[in-house]
Structure 1
Amino acid sequence: MRCVAHILNLVVQDGIKKVYKSVEIIRWAVKWIRQSPSRIGKFTKFSKLVNPGTTKHLVRDVPTRWNSTYHMLNISQAYEKPFDRYDLEEYEFHSDIEKAGLSIPSPSDWQHVRHLCHFLKPFCDVTKRIFGTLYLTSNTCIEYIYSIGTLLDDAISDASFCDIALAMRVKFDKYFGDVEKMNLLLYFSLIIDPRNKVKYLVILLEDRYGKEKMDEKKKYIMDSMFELYNDYIRIHSPSTTSSTTESSNSSSILGKCHNPNATTPKPPLRNKLREKMKANIVESIGELEKYLKESVEEDSSMFNILDWWRVNSPRFPFLSLMAKDLFAIPVSTVASESVFSTSGRVFDPYRSSLTPKDC
């Protein structure tokens, strides 16, 4: 399973490159001001005089995390007038930015930043949802991915965002452009949500690929889903367990034989167990079809998908086992990675080393 958050980062970074000059100017200005408390104090003083309604603090970004760049730009664009005033009052700021080969943020730079923030707001919302650890994410991931594809399609027809959207579209299609390129478990998670089932899948596929290709994509997904359920039935069927135990017992008997080349007669129950296992597979396929034919559940804020499957697991024993595994899939590794990266912020080089006096 690819980390969806990392793919979104790659997609958005390609779009940011189209206005990279403006982003780099704002990034440098914020970094320069945040380098010392005295600079922050002077900038805060100018902000209260020029723009007293703004109370947010400037934040630096991590260039490899696009959402941190979004937050930096979104806060900075509210300080356009304080930045202009700071440039007039602080000569060192003006000279240092010229030495870096950049220029003072111009009105066109701020305009580019505002357009970019407006365009990236939905992407930021999706990223926050994907980061979640206290709720399910696998059953809604496909919907978020398709919504991003729709946003890019709409943006391509807009002259203000056309260049950015086209650059992002290339990377988006590389990972999410077709059903065959994606992990089908995400589609299975969508279907196994009783509020969606196949009806919602058909709506998404038709909106994304059109009526002509919708049936083909649907058949590919459903055939794969039935195939996966057959595997679950073979693994968890009681008949399979009995056959496995019987086979191991036969192997132990063979090990005790004096003649290893002697043929061992097949157990008389083997054929009956095989037929029973096949019957269980047919019955369980009917279980899946039964689930799909039932009406969808009403989507409300009080609906709890885990409670629904807990209550209905006796009706769908094999299906509930699949649902348990599908809903446990994390679509992003960012939450776990952030736990390990926290240590770098807690134990910095100064805090984790001793001075000669302390030795």
Structure 2
Amino acid sequence: MRRGKEVRVGAKCKHCKKLYYGLSSGGTGHLTRHIPKCPVLKGRHSSGAQSLLQFNSDGSVANWEYSPEVARVQLVRLIARLDLPLGFEKRILGMRLIDCSHNAESIVERVACVASDYGISDKIFSITLDNASANTKAMGQLTPLLSGYVGSLLLHQRCACHIINLIVMSGLDSFKDMLTNFRTAISFLNASNQRIAAYKSYCIAMGVRPRKFDLDMDFHDSTVVLSGVYYPTSPLILHHGFEIASHLNEYQFDNDLRFVVNPMKDKFLAYWSDIPMLYSFAFILDPRAKIKGFTSVLRLLSRFNDIDYSSYLTEVRAELSEIYKKYETKFGSMRVQRPTQPVTTGKKKYSWGKIFAYDDGRSGNLSSESLVHSMLGFGSGATGSCSSASAASLSRRGSSASALLQAAQAGSSLAGSELTSYLDSDTVNFFDEDWSVLSWWRDHKLTYPVLSILAKDIFTVPISTISSESAFSTTGRIVEERRRSLGSDMAEMLALLKDWEQGDARMQHTVEDKELEAAFQDLFLDDDNNSAGAGA
């Protein structure tokens, strides 16, 4: 009652005019709850604010709505892209027990099950396996199941290190009886420092420089490099294959070594006379090489292997165009306006540029040794005649006419594409010690948004199974004498946990044996810079 009159105190929404209890004793919670429910305010928020437009993947336009979850995810991606170092990650996703016959059907069932569990059946670009016949048969059945990403052209890759091992073993078989004696003698010599000192004294007395026992052919070095985990190995395989071919060509007519080298070269040609497409694509997508560098390599390989690769070059261009068109269809919607390609500069001009001397007509002044050295930056070269390749190897090549027609059709449809722009641009000739092919493609992903995805997929293919096979050694340490009752599921979980922990610390498999390396270090009996007969 105020002044004798009854007064009602309330609260009214100034938008919808709805009345609410307004005494201070009633609080304000009911008023706060009304604001998001007010029909007038709802209508104003939905129609009064100016909306933002966004482009959908199909090119259509729609209203953009802010999503905190999407913003957080994109922010994390931006931070990772700008601040974290580039590199590869390796993880074991499954280690399934095959408790029955180790045949193609069992392999297919396990692989398909793991891929299905992780939802990656349509995201697999390539699978690298060794040359076991069961694996080859399994890939025949897996191909239609796992080729949903961009087809099956590059789906099956054979382990390069396994092939190198077969090449070496074919040479060792020629003198395996003598090899046993050599190994026994070297083991006996290395077992005692006194014996090593006596060996050095004998060499000095005979006027021979005492030094480390070493191999003339760098098969071990190739195996170490090609089985790496945290850097791309697919762009390196042609370098090392070229190095091996040059060594085999150099020694195949040597009176002392030809009975060893010829079986090795036959094995080399049996597997690598037909160069896998993945090796060629990876080499071309290295901006230091491109088509010009690849052409030079093919010409030198033709000299070493006595094989005409001219039709293969045309075939590679056609297949590269075809797979690029698939990527264009799959990822073309993400393209934005491409900026002008920046000029690449660096501190030092490396020997990569010398590979093009062959195309510039200056190869007549360069020996095979200098060409090999200039291309790879390590190892010795090759001289001598070439061995003839089998007719069967040549017959596996596509005909020049059909490959040329395919390349012409592909080229006409890709005029002005990213691939054409990349291949027509100059190679990278200047770069410093820290130059990385991954960093180059990251820096040019706006220039080549689709082609950079193809390059990333090709560079991530491991060309060796050594790092994966090391998982079996890990499992052997888990299922030991005191843990024989562990079930297969528990052994798989322990192996995955161990591998993922090592992956986070980047301490996964390395092919280098530190103990073996230390033992070989003792075989350097004097400094290479000292003359023969230097002090003990």
Q: What's 1:311 paired with?
A: 443
What amino acid is the match of 2:282? S
Q: What's 1:19 paired with?
A: 175
Give the SS at the match of 2:417: helix
Q: What's 2:194 paired with?
A: 49
User: In the alignment, is residue 128 of structure 1 matched against residue 224 of structure 2?
Assistant: yes
| Contact 1:152–1:169, Cα closer than 8 Å, also in 2 | yes
Q: How does 1:73-152 map to 2 (within 5 A)?
A: 117-120=214-217, 122-152=218-248
| Contact 1:233–1:284, Cα closer than 8 Å, also in 2 | no
| Contact 1:205–1:217, Cα closer than 8 Å, also in 2 | no
Q: Tell me which structure has the larger Cα radius of gyration.
A: 2
Q: What's 1:297 paired with?
A: 428
Q: How does 1:1-359 map to 2 (within 5 A)?
A: 1-27=157-183, 44=191, 47-52=192-197, 117-120=214-217, 122-178=218-274, 182-210=275-303, 213-238=308-333, 282=413, 286-298=417-429, 299-344=431-476, 348-349=480-481, 352=483
| Contact 1:226–1:285, Cα closer than 8 Å, also in 2 | no
| Contact 2:168–2:264, Cα closer than 8 Å, also in 1 | yes
Deviation at 1:28, TM superposition (A): 5.6
Q: What's 1:73 paired with?
A: none
CA offsets, 1:257-292, max 9 Å, x none? xxxxxxxxxxxxxxxxxxxxxxxx956752211111
Deviation at 1:231, TM superposition (A): 1.3
What amino acid is the match of 1:50? R
Q: What's 1:262 paired with?
A: none
Instruction: Give distance in 1, aligned partners of 2:413 and 2:484.
Output: 66
Using the size of structure 2 for normalisation, the TM-score is 0.41
| Contact 1:232–1:322, Cα closer than 8 Å, also in 2 | yes
Instruction: Give distance in 2, aligned partners of 1:154 and 1:296.
Output: 30
What amino acid is the match of 2:197? P
Deviation at 1:29, TM superposition (A): 6.7
Q: Per residue, is there more helix in 1 or in 2?
A: 1
- Root-mean-square deviation (Å): 3.2
Deviation at 1:135, TM superposition (A): 1.4
Give the SS at the match of 1:227: helix
Instruction: Give distance in 2, aligned partners of 1:212 and 1:24.
Output: 36
| Contact 1:14–1:168, Cα closer than 8 Å, also in 2 | yes
* 5+ long unaligned stretches in structure 1: 34-39, 54-77, 82-112, 240-280, 355-359
What amino acid is the match of 2:230? L
Q: Percent same amino acid at aligned positions?
A: 27
Instruction: Give distance in 2, aligned partners of 1:235 and 1:145.
Output: 33
Q: Is the alpha carbon distance of 1:51 and 1:185 closer, same or farther for their aligned partners in structure 2, counting shifts above 3 Å?
A: closer
Deviation at 1:17, TM superposition (A): 0.8
CA offsets, 1:156-214, max 9 Å, x none? 02222111110111111111013xxx320111011011111111101110111159934
Using the size of structure 1 for normalisation, the TM-score is 0.60
Instruction: Give distance in 1, aligned partners of 2:265 and 2:249.
Output: 8
Give the SS at the match of 1:157: coil
| Contact 1:139–1:193, Cα closer than 8 Å, also in 2 | yes
Instruction: Give distance in 1, aligned partners of 2:224 and 2:455.
Output: 24
| Contact 2:414–2:420, Cα closer than 8 Å, also in 1 | no
What amino acid is the match of 1:292? L
Q: What's 2:27 paired with?
A: none
Instruction: Give distance in 2, aligned partners of 1:148 and 1:18.
Output: 19
| Contact 1:142–1:186, Cα closer than 8 Å, also in 2 | yes
Count of residue correspondences:
240
Instruction: Give distance in 2, aligned partners of 1:80 and 1:123.
Output: 31
Q: Is the alpha carbon distance of 1:28 and 1:307 closer, same or farther for their aligned partners in structure 2, counting shifts above 3 Å?
A: same
Q: Is the alpha carbon distance of 1:212 and 1:284 closer, same or farther for their aligned partners in structure 2, counting shifts above 3 Å?
A: same
Q: Is the alpha carbon distance of 1:146 and 1:49 closer, same or farther for their aligned partners in structure 2, counting shifts above 3 Å?
A: closer
| Contact 1:284–1:318, Cα closer than 8 Å, also in 2 | no
| Contact 1:189–1:327, Cα closer than 8 Å, also in 2 | yes
Instruction: Give distance in 1, aligned partners of 2:266 and 2:227.
Output: 24
Deviation at 1:302, TM superposition (A): 1.9
CA offsets, 1:219-249, max 9 Å, x none? 111111111111111222339xxxxxxxxxx
